[in-house]
Structure 1
Amino acid sequence: MSVDMIIEVPAHSEGQTVMDDLTKDKLLLEEDAVIGESDQDTLPSSMPETLLAEAVEGSSTADPQETAPTEANLAELEWLYFQSFGAKALLTRDDEVALGKRIKQGDRQVRRALRAVLSLTRGLRRSESLKACQLDLKAVVSVSGLSATDLEKGKRAIQQIINEICRPSRRMTPKARQAEAALKQYHEGWAQLEKAKEEMVLSNLRLVVDIAKHYNGRGMSFLDLVQEGNMGLMKAAERFDHRRGFKFSTYATWWIRQGITRALSDQSRTIRVPVHMTEAYQRVSKATRRLAQRLGRQPSLKEVAGAVKTSSDKVGQTIQVFQDVVSLEHPIGDGETLLGDFIPDWDTPQADNQVGLKEMTREVARALGSLSPREEAVIRLRFGIGQGEPMTLEEVGHTLGVTRERIRQIEEKALMKLRAPEFQQLLRPLL
């Protein structure tokens, strides 16, 4: 059973009551609620000339024809959705127990069929495909709540095992017939399981709407919140155990809230924030409000950190992560100036820096001119002067066709020459 099955709305519905309390509130409610995974020869990357001076000194397009839905269309969709389950009777305690029993019976029948097929594979030649099917069946048997994906995986594995059993003789063997019978039993259990889950889910859709309206206006549309809550409701139906004695609505509320809050964490912000950071921010916000009420002022980071039992740095980082994202096109002042106009472009060279860079290049070239051609080549390659990125001793040796040790000796000799007083006086201003 997919989420789309839940959202599907009939074109015409007669004899259904309109949920007035929901349709009147669906666009207006914005209630408060808490939302609740070196190489040592390599030189550092920097300006080549500066490195040399230091050595001497000792970073989905939308369809243009696609139009966004209007508020009127969304309101109509919401109204139709509410109307689709408005006449659905709520489940009584006895109804929930009966559906829970049917779900457990279907679950047991499915697992029994899977174990029967697994037992048929004993003694067969274990090919790679058969091993994969056995692993799939064991995974489905071990899962606590069977989802539609798990059931589909089990069906494919059983069918593949039947093919493996029939392959050597190219005919239906007794084991293959037993596997076919198990597959039939599997389908019957699957149908019973899915029908009971569907009835339980459809009878509790209004619970999802009631919970979702508490999170309206937090970055996701109301229907999207309902959709995420519906997925949580389906997980609750898969894992509900009527033998524990509590009502299904009580159990499902946690799953619905988890589905909605996780979707808000993943989708409501321009930059996605991990769920654990969202939970940390909730704790910080709650502690901040409590301290502000008690102290009569805004608490400091240290006070908040003490309340949530963490460091001040972590509290500051958590608050910083949840700062609002501002567009660079945001107008400032009279509206003629944009925020982006105040942000410097560090990629564009400044005029005074360009002059200094030219002077630095000239002085370094003058100093390197006093070396032999081979020494100059080694220094340029090692420090990346006019060559791009600095190279390791190994890379320079490979380029010049000599050993790594020989390059080290040439470099050491060249640097000794550049440490002469006349060159030190020339290169020291570059530091």
Structure 2
Amino acid sequence: MSNNSASSKLTFRPSTKPSSHNVMPAQNDDTLSLYIREISNIPVLSAEEEKATARIAKEGTEKEALKAKQKLVRSNLKLVVNIARKTVQVSKLPMIDLIQEGNLGLMVAIEKFDYKLGYRFSTYAAWWIKQAIFKAISEQSHCVKIPVYIQETLSKFSKVKASLEQKYNTQVKNEDVAKEMNISADKIDTFLGAFNSSISMDAQYELSSGSEVTLSEILEDPKATVYADIEYENLKRDIEYVVSLLKDREQAVVRMRFGLGEWSKKTLEEIGKIYGVTKECIRQTENRALRKLREMTSSNNLLTAYMN
């Protein structure tokens, strides 16, 4: 790592366990301000530079890999700060703690990233940074700035939604749950918005018709035809990444239902025949998988702390 002043506050300790990495600013406000000013001068890598650096981090010699990992760390420190700034509004955890947790998430991303899949490292890293930060907030749930009436409303929302989905054996929309609760959909959206800090779910993707769609809208409806109309390959990469976090059978079912990878789209009955089970069993697996995807991509760890 270079010998500038920013690097004096950052070290990278190579390890097979990312949690042992130490990439943290010192513990006081003055040093934090200085840290933020100094890292603002670190250049951000282009997509091509990211890919080349990530390749060396995986395939280079030990010395080359360490240097490449350090480069990836430094070029994404501002990303961590930006994400921490957005989440500090819903947490009493100090900014410096959020940055520390985010930096640990960045280290996890570096260890797990596969440059061969084609998506940006910064996009991949943002996922792990947010997950690390929201995990810390969840674990310190007593510190979250959540009015009691909002907690109670969201807790009821979660239970009513689960009840409706079990009753009708299908996914239900937030507005339907709000109607059942005799509360405005706008209010529910506002309450949920206080927690949601999704990475790819809210990203807009343009269709050939000129309209836009979000990944969450696609995952809400596995029968949606809009997926086949998506023109940008990065959407498929986003979906492939989140799907890879599921259990093996859940991954397979989602891929076959959406026609991901080498699979063509299949019906519940067709998938059931492959596994030798009923289509209802496959439907349950699909619903469970999609629910997990929405939870993961909406950073719902924070919500879970209040809905259990």
Q: Taking structure 2 as the reference length, what is the TM-score of the superposition?
A: 0.42
Structure with larger RCO (C-alpha < 8 A, sep 6+)? 1
Q: Taking structure 1 as the reference length, what is the TM-score of the superposition?
A: 0.31
Greater Rg over alpha carbons, structure: 1
